[in-house]
Amino acid sequence: MHDPNCLFCKIAAGEIPSRKVYEDEEIFAFHDIHPHAPVHFLLVPRLHLPSMAHAEPVHAGLLGRMMVLAPRLALEQGCRPYPEGGFRIMVNTGQEGGQEVQHLHMHVMGGPRPWLKG
């Protein structure tokens, strides 16, 4: 399912340019346009899922793939390995959770601290 009015659906479909990190049939990853850390990219499902609050058991495989993919991409993008290095995975959900784009997305942030914003 694709929402023609959704910013992240348009980015994943290549309708809006982005700095691509990764893509496959289910997931698209790209650099954040306003990074909060030296490494900061987003993982989005190609399926339009408005938020984590909308996730159902049928989405478990997709969400699991995103969680397993994040560490690999973090290392490829410049994060140092665990345990000295590392990264943060964050999913904002809803207005009070800080979600700005109504398409589920996972922020992956890392690199030397302190970061400009946390």
Q: Which residues are catalytic?
A: 105
CA distance readout (Å), 53 to 14, 18, 25, 85:
26, 26, 23, 30
Token pair 């207005």 is found at: 95
54 phi-psi bin (left φ>0, alpha ψ -120 to 50, beta other): alpha
